[in-house]
A and B are shown apart, each in its own frame.
Chain A
Amino acid sequence: MYFESLDALLNMAGHGPYVWSCYGLFFALLGLNVWHAKRQQLKALKQVKALVRRNS
């Protein structure tokens, strides 16, 4: 590891808040996209399943 301790990694010589907030935002928004796409997929499948049940 480049940093000597976990504290140094978190602090990054004062740049920690800038760096960590960027990574947090990146992964949070990507996660939100997958979650929304998955929800959309499940919703669409549920509607078709309901249609199949009504027809049978």
Chain B
Amino acid sequence: MTESSWRMPRWFHQMGSPKWFYGFAGILQPWFAIAALGLLTWGALWGLAFAPADYQQGNSFRIMYVHVPAAILSQSIFLGMAVAGAVGLVWKMKVAFMVARSCIAIGATFTAIALVTGAIWGKPTWGAYWVWDARLTSTLVLFFLYAGIMALNQAISERHIAGKATAILAIVGTINIPIIKYSVEWWNTLHQSSSFTLTAKPSMPAEMYLPLLLTVLGSYCFFALVVLMRTRSQIVQSQSGASWLMQHRDITGA
């Protein structure tokens, strides 16, 4: 293989430029906002009012349409944060550290939603808000990991060091992700196994899983929107004296 074939594609290096990223994210942002709003509204309305009730759980199963996307996103965001952190460490890319940092609050939010909606769903289904079962406990650990990374970030005032520390903690913390995913298979748990995977046909009828697909996609778009917004803010803060930013229409208003 020639040396040039090992080079990273052009867009990869462009993403590392704060100016380029700021502009590109500005173009994407409104599209993600529209997609998130549309998909989440459509999915939630369908799930709440039009999907048929579950033959065993009755109407409480409708919580699935917010609980499952939150649980999927809580893990995806953590992996995304670790990947962005690793890119930052390997290629010394400041924008990647900013992306990783932007993932913390939204990831913690989705984890909190998954935990609380899961607890509320547990009451009519299992008769208890909380049980110390493997899936629930490993998700609680994930929330503590997010909280730890958030605290670490706020404790270190030097942005570059905070970025590196976030990256390392996120990479180490990914060990928890397969534990959450396979907890329902490795241990005897009260939590049901996945009824929705990318590889297999869903075990429920279309009018039940399509709203779920919409809320999952909508949640991914929402995550992208918030990460772009937060990363752009960090770019503005770090580049405050740069001439490209001073002349940008967001500053000049023209």
Number of residue pairs across A and B with beta carbons under 8 Å? 107
What's the Cα separation between A34 and B40 when bound, in Å? 14
| Contact indicator B63/A18 (Cβ below 8 Å) | yes
B233 within 8 A of A: yes
User: Is the interface on chain B under 10, 10 to 19, 20 to 34, or 35 or more residues?
Assistant: 35 or more
Residue contact A23 to B109, C-beta cutoff 8 Å: no
Question: In the complex, which residues of chain B have a beta carbon less than 8 angstroms from the beta carbon of A52?
Answer: 246, 251-252
Q: Please, which residues of chain B bring their CB within 8 A of the CB of A38?
A: 229
Looking at chain A's contact residues, is the secondary structure mostly helix, strand, loop, or mixed? Answer: helix
Checking A2, A15, A22 against B66 with a beta-carbon cut-off of 8 angstroms, the contacting residue is A22
Question: A14–B123 Cα gap in the complex (Å)?
Answer: 12
Contact A23 B48 (CB under 8 A): yes
B16 interface hit (Cβ, 8 Å): no
Is the Cβ of A26 less than 8 Å from the Cβ of B113?
yes
Q: How far is the CA of A5 from the CA of B233 in the complex (A)?
A: 46
Name B's A-contacting residues (CB within 8 A).
Answer: 40, 44, 48-53, 58-60, 62-63, 66-67, 70, 105-106, 109, 112-113, 116-117, 120-121, 123-124, 222, 225-226, 229-230, 232-234, 236-237, 240-241, 245-246, 250-252
Identify B251's interface contact among A14, A41, A48, CB under 8 A.
A48
B-contacting residues of A (Cβ < 8 Å)? 1-3, 9, 12-16, 18-19, 21-23, 25-27, 29-30, 32-34, 36-38, 40-41, 43-45, 47-49, 51-52, 55
Rounded to whole angstroms, the CA-CA distance of A16 and B49 in the bound complex is: 12
Chain A residue at minimal CB-CB distance from B52? A2
Does the CB pair B226–A37 fall under 8 Å? yes
10 CB contacts below 8 A, A to B, read A3-B49, A12-B59, A12-B62, A15-B58, A18-B123, A25-B113, A27-B40, A41-B236, A44-B236, A45-B251
